[in-house]
Chains A and B, each alone.
Chain A
Amino acid sequence: MSETSTAAPPATRRPALKSHRFGFLLNLTLLALLVVLWLALSVSTDSFATFGNFENLLRQDSMWSIMAVGQTFVIITAGIDLSVGAVVGLTSTIIAMMLAGGVPIWAAIIVTLIIGVVLGAINAFGIVNLRLPPFIMTLATMTALRSFGLLITDGQTIGGLPLNFILFSSHRTLGIPNLFIIVILIAIPCYFLLHRSRWGRYLFAVGSNPEAARLSGVSVNRTIYLAYIVSALLASVVGVLVASRIGIGVATTGQGWELQSIASSVIGGASLFGAVGSVIGPLLGAMLLTTINNGANLLNVNPFWQGIITGLLIIVIVYFDQLRRRKTR
């Protein structure tokens, strides 16, 4: 047996996730689409292919990228997190209040991230322990957290943030905008967590068949907690970054970003039915949406078109995804 079993594996050089082959093709397509868009915009506008604009593009992209990666973790478990936009708003307000109140930057960041973890745990508590559908639970926290931010600031803008904190987002390291460096620093551990760790495998198992996962000794509850905590933690990172970028605390920041993050995730190949998704996918998806956004601004397209383009893109990509599913069945 040992002879044949050592001979067998060559057929299975890829990791044992079937989504990889299609995912790889989709990622290539997205990348190609991006390149085409970039080339087209470089030709049709004077301002796109400038250093300043490209930097700006990367900065815009960082926010949505980080949120989209977190959202993907949740979507892989066949859930959805509508609260991420509100978490961004609330955490950016809270860190602004702390900094304005003289709390050291490092302490303010740590506290904000802890708040993110707690907010994710609250979502998971509602879904796991109270058995609420993810859509409902995160809709409720989205509504409540947004109002909570307005309540504690009384709807006012928080100013007076330390200059060092504000400058972080406009500086660059080794020529790369700091914000985008954060994306890379987050994407790498997320990649290992999702694609190389046992917990990542459990996320896929729970999204594919929670019953089979439970019967195999997987703690489904803990896995769901993990997904929502990662999502809210990454949203609170974005909260910190966005406070630095705009230099003030505004409770309404991040409105509608939950939909951007879901769109990025889905465009990047995640399936709302669960068990399909990657880390690179939402990064490309977010970059595509940012480029469309940026390009539309430069081309002086009525900004209301952007939503329409995003909507059509989602329909096209999910349609092809369904088509593939029907074939494999």
Chain B
Amino acid sequence: MVDFNTETAINTPARNIEGVLLLEKREAFLQAKESYYILKFQGSNPSIAIMKARLLNLLDQWHGYLLRQKDFKFIEVIKELKSEDLTDEQLMEIFYKISEEMDKSRLTKIDSVVLDTTDIELENNAKGLD
């Protein structure tokens, strides 16, 4: 694609765009969670509706990926979220599972592996020389 204002080529892979959207949804959920817990710790009885809706949003954004991965467990979770009354703890459990998946697919993985270079075979293998 060409940006006609600057006449430079713009080429953003769909994966990156999708990744950013997913991270936005995740951030939105965390903000809802923060508001929920502030109210809860202040002694009021807040509703988890916003948290639930935002988690549903996150999963819907990820729907295509889940289908391709044939991860029907999460597809079931989407159905459950839509129908059942869940507690905040159950919601957080689902969120942690989603976080793990995001980590596996390198969306939220920010730490890099530290290689022990004093182990010669470890280095050889890490560099594809096994």
Q: Do A and B come from one complex?
A: no
* Residue positions of A touching B, CB distance < 8 A: none
